[in-house]
Copies of this chain bind each other. A is one copy, B any other.
Amino acid sequence: MTHRAQLSSRRVFSGRVINLDVDRVRYPDGSEGELDIIRHPGASAIVPFLSDPAAENPQVLLIKQYRYATDGYLLEIPAGRLEPGEKPGDCARRELREETGCEAGSMRFMTSMWTTPGFTDERIHLFLASDLTQGETRREADEFMTVQPVFLTEALKMIERGDIQDAKTALGLLYAAGFLAGR
């Protein structure tokens, strides 16, 4: 993407997941400066409901995943990067299938969020999946995870207690709870 405020851009690192650019930028007041920016293709994340989302206290499927950056395991909703040209909804279905083995009869878009706009253009697209049918998981070689069904009310308590510490997961669950409440 070319930014209107971009004067020049220099790629200083190309990785498997991220690229790092140092951009010369014109700020809104006309002044100039330099910014380090992580270029990311974007991601989709899914709150998968095991039972009817409209039921009294539905169950959601969480994933306990090894995260090197946190030096341990995190409880997360299924998620993953967009492949080149892939639509967020297609990515959501693919990641749900790969990480949990489930096909979603219904995949509803909730919202899109910038994960940390101070240093990256990564955007995450949040979906609510329901009417799941179980198939086979197919994970990438560096993905270490186990699937864990949790009642939505319990998942919300885990956010409050600090047992869920992944931003997209807390956001997806809180948003889904409000979304279902028709707020």
Binding site for B on A (CB under 8 A): 1, 3-5, 12-13, 15-18, 20, 22-23, 25, 27-29, 31, 33, 35-38, 40, 43, 66-71, 74, 81, 111-122, 124, 141-142, 144, 156-157, 159-160, 162, 165-168, 170-171, 174-175, 178-179, 183
- Residue pair A114, B5 in contact (C-beta under 8 Å): no
A138 to B113, CA, bound (A): 28
A165 to B125, CA, bound (A): 10
A interface, by DSSP: helix, strand, loop or mixed? mixed
Q: Which residue in chain B gives the minimum CB-CB distance to A112?
A: B165
- Residue pair B170, A113 in contact (C-beta under 8 Å): yes
A157 to chain B, nearest CB (A): 8
- Residue pair A175, B167 in contact (C-beta under 8 Å): no
Across the interface, A68 reaches (CB within 8 A) one of B5, B71, B156, namely: B5
Q: Which residue in chain B gives the minimum CB-CB distance to A33?
A: B142
* Neighbouring B residues of A114 by C-beta, 8 Å: 67, 69-70, 74, 165-167
